[in-house]
């Protein structure tokens, strides 16, 4: 089973990630495979002062030798440079501890819910871990997952479709996403990770306007995984359905409030004839579909098409022009506490969403194909892809005596 855990506070000395269950023999290089995504997470127009302080890099401190994984837990460390400014309020030792308590809770943050849960009278105890600084650790884990997926031919990418009121049309036709129609170099060059230059400029202007108003903006990110083999996930139990696992992973990202699989939102308002993807046989490829509105997932199982989802981020909770709130201790109404903050994190959110999509797919790949070494895993995936190209039969020869087909139940 592939799993990861993260630890560490936003202003503590470091974030730690342990990735367990990885095959042995996977080439892994921190600067090449992980730091690139860490840098992408730090970018995007609309980020705040923290990103000027941090220069995130992942140090591999376990599980890799001579550039390849050992099959033991891969341990990564991302240091917080800002820690130098927070040594006293964040110190571990009791002696000499002089916290400046935060008691004014910020609306839209975990501050109040977390303080009520744990009985804290200092909101810093909550915000340090609830903070999206933790997404740096997730992106590091996701980069490891991407390195694994790359070795079995799967690629995960994202783009920004909407920031505040500015939206670009969905790339693709018939309500379906099509990664081949996207200029991915333009995505990476855009300050907001949107491939359409006109929309990109409008998004930047919208962020500037929000900043001038002391306000913040949310938006929508599209994430797509290409060359995913059919048959990942399962319909056999609710907690093994890949659609549910992807939705959970995306919703767990700080400030995500909705996830759309395929053209799910639009589909709810259309007749069935305009929604369902018709299967067809493509010689040399196997069974495919004429459209991909279901996001490459049917019955919680990948169906051989690109897996795509759209992730909805609410506007950043901390506003320069603070919202009304309450003091945890005095119970008086006050203006919310202001802690250095971003204006819009949707471009960075896309990188985090890529990491989560990569993670769920890598776990599904390991679940289905297993193996202790990369070579074993690759052999199993290659055999599966051959079977899919040949029509998917698990071994019963065509024309062999089989029970008479019964009418299919709905
Ligand atoms: C990459 C990223 C960076 C974020 N940076 C900030 C920030 O600077 N200020 C802020 O108020 N919220 C920020 N957020 C959102 C909050 O972390 C989030 O709204 C809060 O933890 C409450 O969680 P919830 O919105 O999921 O309920 C960020 C989210 C992401 C994904």
Q: Which helix (H) or strand (E) holds 5?
A: strand 3-7
pLDDT at 396 over 90: no
- Separation of alpha carbons 225 and 154, rounded Å: 7
Tally Cβ neighbours within 10 Å of residue 130. 18
Distance from Cα 342 to the centre of ligand 1, integer Å = 9
Give pLDDT tens digits for 192-233. 999 999 999 999 999 999 999 999 999 999 999 999 999 999
Pair 192, 200: CB distance under 8 Å? yes
Distance from Cα 114 to the centre of ligand 1, integer Å = 15
Give pLDDT tens digits for 242-261. 999 999 999 999 999 999 99
Q: Does ligand 1 have an atom closer than 6 angstroms to the CB of 135?
A: yes
**Cβ within 8 Å of residue 157, ≥6 positions away:** 179, 182, 184, 187, 223, 224, 226, 354
CATH architecture of 90-373: 4-Layer Sandwich (3.60)
Q: Could you tell me what percent of the chain has a pLDDT over 70?
A: 95
Distance from Cα 124 to the centre of ligand 1, integer Å = 15
Least confident of 113-117, 293-297, 394-398: 394-398
Tally Cβ neighbours within 10 Å of residue 116. 12
pLDDT confidence band for 170 (50 / 70 / 90): confident
DSSP assignments along 48-111, one per residue: -THHHH----EEEEESEETTEEESSPEEEEEE-GGGGGGTTTT-S-STT-------BPPTTSSH
- Pick from 53, 105, 131 the residue to mutate for probing ligand 1's pocket: most ligand atoms within 8 Å of its CB: 131
Q: Does ligand 1 have an atom closer than 6 angstroms to the CB of 254?
A: yes
Specify the pLDDT at position 340: 73
Distance from Cα 157 to the centre of ligand 1, integer Å = 21
pLDDT confidence band for 409 (50 / 70 / 90): very low
Q: Which residue's CA lies nearest to atom 3 of ligand 1?
A: 132
DSSP conformation class of 236: S
Q: Does ligand 1 have an atom closer than 6 angstroms to the CB of 42?
A: no
pLDDT at 357 over 50: yes
Distance from Cα 132 to the centre of ligand 1, integer Å = 5
Q: Kindly list the domain boundaries of the chain, sorted by start residue.
A: 90-373
> Which tops the pLDDT comparison, 323 or 147?
147
130 CA: nearest ligand 1 atom:
21
pLDDT confidence band for 46 (50 / 70 / 90): confident
Q: Does ligand 1 have an atom closer than 6 angstroms to the CB of 342?
A: yes
106 CA: nearest ligand 1 atom:
11
Distance from Cα 314 to the centre of ligand 1, integer Å = 9
- Across 65-100, b (16+ Cβ under 10 Å) vs e yields eeeebbbebbbbbbbbebbeebeebbeeeeeeeeee
Give pLDDT tens digits for 138-163. 999 999 999 999 999 999 999 999 99
- Separation of alpha carbons 218 and 164, rounded Å: 5
Distance between first and last Cα of the chain: 33
- Separation of alpha carbons 281 and 389, rounded Å: 10
For range 324-330, the mean pLDDT: 94
pLDDT at 320 over 70: yes
Distance from Cα 255 to the centre of ligand 1, integer Å = 5
């Amino acid at each position: 089973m592939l799993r990861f855990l993260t630890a560490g506070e936003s202003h503590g000395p470091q974030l730690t990630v342990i990735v367990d269950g990885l095959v042995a023999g996977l080439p892994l290089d921190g600067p090449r495979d992980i730091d690139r995504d860490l840098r992408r997470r730090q970018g995007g127009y609309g980020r705040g002062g923290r990103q000027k302080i941090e220069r995130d890099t992942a140090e591999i401190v376990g599980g890799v030798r001579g550039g390849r994984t050992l099959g033991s837990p891969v341990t990564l460390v991302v240091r917080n440079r800002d820690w130098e400014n927070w040594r006293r309020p964040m110190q571990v030792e009791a002696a000499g501890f002089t916290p400046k308590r935060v008691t004014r809770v910020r609306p839209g943050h975990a501050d109040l819910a977390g303080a009520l849960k744990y009985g804290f009278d200092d909101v810093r105890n909550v915000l340090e871990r609830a903070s999206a600084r933790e997404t740096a650790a997730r992106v590091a884990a996701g980069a490891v997952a991407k390195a694994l997926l790359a070795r079995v031919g799967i690629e995960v990418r994202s783009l920004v479709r909407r920031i505040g009121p500015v939206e670009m049309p969905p790339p693709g036709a018939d309500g379906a996403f099509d990664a081949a129609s996207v200029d991915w170099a333009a995505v990476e060059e855009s300050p907001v990770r949107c491939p359409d230059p006109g929309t990109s400029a409008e998004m930047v202007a919208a962020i500037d306007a929000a900043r001038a108003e002391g306000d913040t903006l949310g938006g929508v990110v599209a994430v797509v995984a290409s060359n995913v083999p059919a048959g990942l996930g399962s319909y056999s139990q609710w907690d093994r359905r890949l659609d549910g696992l992807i939705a959970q992973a995306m919703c767990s990202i700080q400030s995500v409030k909705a996830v759309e699989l395929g053209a799910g939102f639009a589909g709810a308002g259309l007749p069935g004839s305009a929604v369902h993807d018709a299967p067809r046989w493509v010689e040399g490829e196997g069974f495919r579909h004429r459209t991909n509105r279901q996001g490459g997932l049917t019955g919680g199982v990948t169906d051989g098409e690109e897996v795509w989802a759209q992730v909805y981020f609410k506007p950043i909770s901390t506003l320069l022009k603070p919202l009304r709130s309450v003091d945890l201790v005095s119970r008086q109404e006050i203006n919310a506490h202001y802690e250095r903050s971003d204006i819009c994190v949707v471009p960075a959110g896309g990188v985090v969403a890529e990491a989560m999509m990569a993670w769920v797919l890598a776990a599904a790949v390991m679940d289905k194909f297993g193996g202790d070494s990369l070579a074993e895993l690759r052999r199993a995936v290659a055999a599966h892809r051959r079977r899919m190209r040949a029509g998917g039969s698990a071994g019963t020869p065509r024309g062999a005596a089989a029970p008479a087909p019964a009418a299919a139940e709905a």
